[in-house]
Structure 1
Amino acid sequence: MDTILVGAGVAGLSAGVNLARKGVQVAVIDELPPASGASYGNSGFLVADTAMPIALPGMYKKVPSWLLDPDGPLRVRPSYAAKAFPFLARWLWASRMQQVHKSNEAMRRIQNPVFQDWKALVAPQVYSSLIRETGQIYLWDGVGPFETRIEDLLRSKFDVKARELSQQEIKDTFPGITPTIGRAMLVPGNGHTINPGRLVQAVKDELIEAGGAILHERVQRLWPAADGGWSVMTTGSLRKCRRVVVAAGAWSARLLAPLGIHVPLESERGYHVILPNPSIKLAVPILHKTGYFGANSMEMGLRLAGTVEIAGLEAEPSPSRCEVLVKQAHKLFPGIKHDEPIFWMGHRPSLPDSVPVIGAVPGFKGLFTCFGHGHCGLTAGPTSARLLTEVMVGASDGADLQAYSISRFR
Structure 2
Amino acid sequence: MSEAKKTVTIIGAGIVGVSAAIELQRDGHQVILIDGKGPGEGTSHGNGGILASCSIVPVTGPGLWKKAPKMLLDPEQPLFMRWGYLPKLAPWLMKYMGHANAGDTARIAAALAPIVGDSLADHQALAAGTGAERHLKPSDYLFLYNDRAHFGEDAFGWGLRKKHGFQWDELVGAEFRAYDEIYAKDITFAARLKDHGIITDPGQYVKDLAAHVTGNGGRLIKAFVTDVTRKNGTVTGVRAGGETIPCDAVVVATGVWSKPLAEKLGISVPLEAERGYHLELWEPSAMPKAPVMVAAAKCVVTPMEGRIRIAGIVEFGGLEAGPSKGPLELLHRNARRILPGVTWKHEEEWQGARPAPADSIPVIGEVPGLSGAFVGFGHHHIGLTGGPKTGRLLAQMISGRTPNMDMSAYDPERYAI
**TM norm. shorter chain > 0.5:** yes
> Which range moved further: 381-390 or 180-189?
180-189
| Residues 159 and 243 (structure 1), Cα distance of their counterparts in 2 relative to 1, 3 Å cut | closer
Alignment of 1:297-336 (within 5 A): 297-336=303-342
Match of 1:364 among 365, 370, 380: 370
SS in 2 for 1:342: strand
Measured at CA, do residues 201 and 259 of structure 1 come closer, stay the same or move farther in structure 2, by a change above 3 Å?
Answer: closer
What is the Cα deviation at residue 260 of structure 1? 4.3
Q: For structure 1, which segment, 201-210 or 79-88, has the greater mean C-alpha deviation from structure 2 after superposition?
A: 201-210
- Are 1:26 and 1:213, in contact at CA under 8 Å, matched by a contact in 2? yes
8 Å contact from structure 1 (residues 304, 325) kept in 2: yes
Q: Aligned match of 2:411 in 377, 402, 405?
A: 405
How far apart are the structure 1 equivalents of 2:56 and 2:411?
19
1:123 is displaced (CA, Å) by: 3.0
| Counterpart position of 2:259 | 253
Q: 1:217 to 1:127 in 2, by over 3 A?
A: closer
Match of 2:202 among 180, 188, 196: 196
For 1:228 and 1:177, how far apart are their aligned partners in 2?
56
| Counterpart selection for 1:354 from 360, 364, 369 | 360
Aligned ranges 1:277-292 → 2 under 5 Å: 277-292=283-298
Per-residue CA shift, 1:270-305, capped at 9, x if unaligned?
Answer: 111111111220111110111010001110301000
8 A contact 2:36–2:223 mirrored in 1 = yes
Secondary structure in 2 aligned to 1:62?
helix
Partner-residue secondary structure (3-state), 1:396: coil
C-alpha distance in 2 between matches for 1:170 and 1:119? 29
User: For this pair of structures, how many residues does the alignment match?
Assistant: 410
What are the within-5 Å matches in structure 2 for residues 7-406 of structure 1?
7-123=12-128, 126=131, 129-141=134-146, 144=149, 146-225=152-231, 228-396=234-402, 400-406=406-412
Distance 1:6 1:378, change over 3 A: same
Change (3 A) 1:201 1:381: same
Report the TM-score when normalising by structure 1.
0.94
Q: What is the aligned-residue identity percentage?
A: 33
Matched letter for residue 20 of structure 1: Q
Change (3 A) 1:342 1:153: same
Q: Which moved more, 1:236-245 or 1:54-63?
A: 236-245
**How far off its partner does 1:120 sit?**
2.0
Runs of 4+ in 1 over 4 A off after TM superposition: 124-128
Residue 193 to residue 17, structure 1, CA distance change in 2 (3 Å): same
Judged with a 3 Å threshold, the aligned counterparts in structure 2 of structure 1 residues 133 and 397 are, in CA distance, closer, same or farther, namely closer
Question: Given that residues 223 and 259 in structure 1 are in contact (C-alpha distance below 8 angstroms), is that contact kept between their aligned partners in structure 2?
Answer: no
- Report the alpha carbon displacement of residue 228 of structure 1 after superposing the two structures with TM: 3.5
Give yes or no for contact 1:233–1:239 (8 Å, CA) kept in 2: yes
2:406 match: secondary structure: helix
Contact 1:121 1:206 in 2 (8 A): no
Structure-2 change in CA distance of 1:124 and 1:224 (3 Å): closer
Does structure 1 retain, via aligned residues, the 8 Å contact 2:299–2:310? yes
Is 1:177–1:332's contact at 8 Å kept on the other side of the alignment?
yes
Residue in structure 1 matched with residue 3 of structure 2 by the alignment: none
TM-score, normalized by length of structure 2?
A: 0.93
Cα 1:291–1:218 change in 2 (3 A) is same
SS state at 1:400 partner: coil
Is contact 2:278–2:331 with CA below 8 Å preserved after alignment?
yes
> Could you tell me how far apart the structure 2 residues matched to 1:210 and 1:350 are?
33
Equivalent residue letter for 2:240: T
Q: Secondary structure at the match of 1:355?
A: coil
Q: Which runs of 5+ in 1 are unaligned?
A: none
CA contact 1:275–1:341 (8 Å) conserved in 2? yes
Q: What is the CA–CA distance in structure 1 between the aligned matches of 2:395 and 2:182, rounded to whole Å?
A: 47
On the 8 A contact 2:265/2:367 being kept in 1, the answer is: no
